[in-house]
Amino acid sequence: MKKILKYIYKKTIIGNYLITKLIDLNRFYLFRIKPEKKYLTDEFENSFGRKINLSNPKTLNEKIVWLKLYDRTPLHTTCADKYAVREYIKTKITDKYIIPLYLKTKNEKDIVPDNLPDYPFIVKTNHDSGGGIIVRDKSKIDWKKVRKGLKKRMKHNYYYGSKEWQYKNIEPCIIVEKLLLNKKGNIPFDYKIHCFNGKVNMIQVDIDRDSDNHYRNWYNPKWEREPYKWTSLKDKGKTTEPSDEEVEKPKTLEEMITLSEKLSEDFCYVRVDWYDLDGKLYFGELTFHHDGGNRPIIPEKYDEILGRKIILPKKESSSS
């Protein structure tokens, strides 16, 4: 049947039109009509092959999905906003850890070479997850294509595809930040500090994340390698595997831990991202639901071992 539909889609005009419309209708149902709880529980079952236990969640992934549904505050929205979070960081730990901002605008037409710096920078929107256009030489960029992509992203509400409530009410804008490059001209390692109830529990190190050799190592706060991996799907069906090589313990580790615990004290679970640029720390972002709670932890037993370490808040009613 799949082969027949594929043939109709690719070889006939009417078939292409009808199947495209069916796909659009299905996406509309999934993202706009399907009840939020049903959407999330189905996503979990598709990922793990079993039903989620929301009445008594035990695993880390189950608790992340629970938090998506029941842990919602205005502060979550502020901190998920890549522009608004800058003020939160400034208030909590001072502005010396904030990546220099060159431009903030609500109009993609402002993203033209004359308005942009001559040094390397990154262009991104504030209201979704991932993405970003890395620019090392602005003369080599198709800016018309970039503006077209930004216009589309500005209209996209990330909440409807992820059901992560904190993104729902962010007012979209475009920001241009300095691109962090180390002395070798490379983007520095990305340290992601997972905090449970205000304490650092696990550290994720992303190595060469913008290349085809993206590895992800896991450490505890003492910088000892953990015996598990938390997989993350990449393009073309690849997964992010741990590297056989050890990552040298950063000299800024204790500073990262102290600052992360300061930033996480208002939340049950949050991932605090950092860049270590030749010994100077820069804040990346705050993430409240790592991989949406839909990626296996291997070996499987560690999903529950880690889950035991999180104490969930009292259940609140859903926000709109």
Position 232 pLDDT exceeds 70: no
pLDDT of residue 17: 56
Tell me the percentage of the chain whose pLDDT exceeds 90.
73
Residue 235: pLDDT band by 50, 70, 90 thresholds?
very low
pLDDT digits (tens, 9 = 90+) for 116-157: 999 999 999 999 887 799 999 999 999 999 999 999 999 999
pLDDT digits (tens, 9 = 90+) for 68-126: 999 999 999 999 999 999 999 999 999 999 999 999 999 999 999 999 999 999 999 99
Contact 60, 307 (CB under 8 A): yes
Which is it for strands 215-219 and 280-287: parallel, antiparallel or unpaired? Answer: unpaired
Position 199 pLDDT exceeds 90: yes
pLDDT digits (tens, 9 = 90+) for 239-276: 678 887 888 999 999 999 999 999 999 999 999 999 99
Rounded CA-CA distance 262/269 in Å is: 13
For residue 132, what are its two tokens? Answer: 């970003």
Residue 162: pLDDT band by 50, 70, 90 thresholds?
confident
Q: 182 or 9: which carries more pLDDT confidence?
A: 182
pLDDT of residue 28: 46
What ranges in 29-103 are assigned the alpha helix state H?
Answer: 36-48, 60-70, 74-80, 85-93
Q: Cα angle at 48 between 45 and 52, to 5 degrees?
A: 50
So where are the chain's domains?
1-33, 98-180
pLDDT digits (tens, 9 = 90+) for 14-45: 655 555 555 545 554 455 668 899 999 999 99
Rounded CA-CA distance 106/246 in Å is: 42
Contact 180, 150 (CB under 8 A): no
Rounded CA-CA distance 184/125 in Å is: 27
Q: What is the pTM of this model?
A: 0.86
Rounded CA-CA distance 61/307 in Å is: 7
Residue 315: pLDDT band by 50, 70, 90 thresholds?
confident
Position 296 pLDDT exceeds 70: yes
Give the H/E segment covering residue 262. helix 253-264
Q: Cα angle at 138 between 134 and 141, to 5 degrees?
A: 75
pLDDT of residue 209: 65
Residue 7: pLDDT band by 50, 70, 90 thresholds?
low
Residue 4: pLDDT band by 50, 70, 90 thresholds?
low
pLDDT of residue 109: 97
Q: How far is CA 150 from the centre of its chain?
A: 18
pLDDT digits (tens, 9 = 90+) for 48-75: 999 999 999 999 999 999 999 999 999 9
- What is the greatest pairwise CA distance in the chain? 62
